[in-house]
Amino acid sequence: MHGNLPGLHDLYDTAEKRLVAALYQLESQNPMEPHNFAADEQLRDGTQLHIRAIRPDDKQALVDLFERLSPQTIYYRFHGVKKSLSRDELVYLTELDFHRRAALVAVLHIDGEDQIVGVGRYASAPNAPQHRAEVALTVEDAHQGRGIGSLLLKHLMQVARAEGITELDAFVLAENRHMLRLFERTGLVLQRSAAAGACHLVMTTDTPPSASALSPGGRHPAP
């Protein structure tokens, strides 16, 4: 009698896909001003994470974050040894137009104060096509594997999409397998290439990321 009825799993799967599509459409119709972007997320362990647009007054917080990073994480991010951030670099990293260059920070409340524990950013080179930018993510070592990188990427793609950025280039050292896996899990990689120990991935932002791929409950640890 009930043999032709769809299973509950199929119903839930269809409902989730419709919800993701509806949210994507709503986001496209009512985009938040990128320099005011803010969102709250919950990590796998229940910890509350705040993601917001970077601000010019975040310079010291970025220095503090940099000083907490391991040499390996710094090497992965900058593709070389780096001892400090200069004043000019801090200006470049925090004073953005949120069109051609944008950045989001991940904030946790630790020991009674808010700390920036991760940064996701995109930047378009002056001669780059209007629809294309380079993306980079950094998460503090002590908080890697909690899904923070995935959440930063999800929201950064939202900002990029609203600003007409439809393709993101990621240049990742081949040994940085966690970051490569994070990008691949989106299901949005259009092209892949490798040279001189680094991988170049091109991702589209035109399709909303998979709810399961970029959620804190994903299977694999993310930076």
**Which pLDDT tens digit goes with each residue over 186-209?**
999 999 999 989 999 999 998 755
pLDDT at 34: 80
**Which of the pair, 10 or 187, is modelled with greater confidence?**
187
CB-side neighbour CA atoms (13 Å) of 168: 30
Strands (E), the chain: 38-42, 48-53, 101-110, 113-123, 132-139, 167-173, 189-195, 198-204
**The model's pTM:** 0.80
Please report which confidence band the pLDDT of residue 84 belongs to, taking 50, 70 and 90 as the band edges. very high
- CA dist 140 and 207 (Å) reads 28
If we measure between CA atoms, which residue out of 54, 219, 70 comes closest to residue 139? Answer: 70
Measured distance CA(44)–CA(33) in Å, rounded = 28
Confidence class of residue 51 from pLDDT cuts 50, 70 and 90? very high
In the structure, what pLDDT confidence band is assigned to residue 212 with cuts at 50, 70 and 90?
A: very low
pLDDT computed for residue 64 by the predictor:
98
pLDDT over 70 (residue 67): yes
Give the SS3 label for residue 158. helix
What's the CATH number for 33-204?
A: 3.40.630.30
Q: What is the pLDDT of residue 219?
A: 32
pLDDT at 217: 41
Contacts 24+ apart (CB under 8 A), 106-115: 106/49, 106/50, 106/51, 106/139, 106/148, 106/151, 106/152, 107/49, 107/50, 107/51, 107/52, 108/47, 108/49, 108/50, 108/143, 109/48, 114/50, 115/61, 115/64, 115/65
**Average pLDDT score, the chain:** 85
pLDDT (mean) for 140-148: 96
Q: Where are the domains of the chain?
A: 33-204
